[in-house]
Chains A and B, each alone.
Chain A
Amino acid sequence: MALVEIDELHLTMTSYDGAAHVLAGVSLSLERGEIWGLVGETGCGKSLTGLTLSRLVASPPARYLSGAVRFDGRDLLAADEETMRDLRGRRIGMIFQDPTTNLNPAFRVGTQMIDVALHAGRVDPSILGLAAGASRGARRRAARDLAVSMLDRVGIVDAARRIDDYPHQFSGGMRQRVLIAMALIGRPDLIIADEPTTALDVSVQAQILALLHRLAAEDGLAILLITHNLGVVAQIASHVAVMYAGAVVEAGDVRAVLKSPRHPYTQALIAALPRADVKRGALAGLPGVVPDLLTPPPGCRFLPRCPIGAADCARAAPGLAPVDTGQRVACFRAERAA
């Protein structure tokens, strides 16, 4: 049984303009030790998919229509807030894009980490290395020690002293390390990293990616890496899922997908990557725009922009189906696209 299973998830967001069908059949499954890259353009629903795993999408305006989200066999869509809180920070850690805004500027780094450690320790006392009935003072001391060792582990030099610094006293890359340490405190099974390197300098990006890669290997973590950057995926992911307009259109082993993409959208994405052997200015652009999710086109949502689409693609939305190179593709004409 997979650690994470998202099965045909449909979700709408209601606004003044009406209900937008923003997730239309998202399917995804992660095993321990796998790093999944979830790629797609802005607004395709990749961040939302990450947030549904922690049930952090406010509802209303969101409404779950159908499908399932399971974590370690547990149905998360049926879970109450208490259950979810026990998972968050303990078994599911999250890392977000901008390390500057994701740490509270008015509190010491240590204060924020210790609160997360105490929460994880409340769910599972063994995380703090204490028995169930330990005193408040003992728990605080253990939480602080744990926070220091985590900072040390993510590569913060002189962690025992730096823990009492304020966020603004760290550089951007160091702040992201602090946030990674915070996400790791509860010894989670799954880390959801939403564009963790987008706000950082290119040189720092590589360090953070290497760190995530190392941690995943050491702890056997599953990582869901949400990004719009296929380059990042190619660097550290073992698997990749491509999303378009609220649905996963292609998913599978990272080498198979990048080397022989079968969905026309994936093909366009890869063709748009700047490459050394292609002349500048020869980037393949995709005609048309992302559909309006308030009134999505019938059938396959990619049809209006698809180079190989046919009239019958508008009858129904294609489901994910395996192709000869191993990955799964949501396209009626995927075999022809080879």
Chain B
Amino acid sequence: MTIALPKGKLLIDSIQMLSRIGIECSHVNEESRKLFYDLPDSNIKIIICRATDIPTFVEYGAADLGVVGKDTLLEDNKDVAELLDLKFGYCRFVVAMPEASVPPKLPNGTYDLSGLNHQRVATKFPRVAETFFSELGMQVHPIKLHGNIELAPCVGLAEMIVDIVSTGKTLRENHLVEVAPILEATSRLIANRVAYRMKYERIRVLVDLFRKELQIDETAK
């Protein structure tokens, strides 16, 4: 069984989680630049790749299981089975605009977005942005960027941004204001569709173990 783990912050959480259910993998890290780990004791292989590539590895069956943020899943829309909310890696998608151009508020206290039709939205997540606005019956023009999204409104590339925030600090530093929440995201355990059916027993045991640990965390809160 091959499990794909994402580089970065989620890797540490994922390794911790795997260790907790008895899959000893504390030696797995990205500093060593090793991308492939064999864990003969538990008969598991771990591969490490970019977070945005995890759904691809899993969809094609190159990995049976993967850990990935719901944000990446939503943007990618790959055909994978989403088995479990692992609860770590919490973040929020929001629409944000420069302080100077925030829209007026509605009587219910939310911002009136209706004037934003056909405006430009800078984002790493054009799909999420488009879906959000089209559910409001609106159409926007997404501009796909790969980083430093906050820059776009400052230099006139876009009127607003759709991005992930965890504390909101970056937004404040760039004089941006959250004008609408879109959704919240945490990490997910995903499986290849066929592996999920062919290696069902093995995967189910793992999922149940994860679930138990998550419940312990829940009770501890």
A associates with B: no
B interface vs A, CB < 8 Å?
none
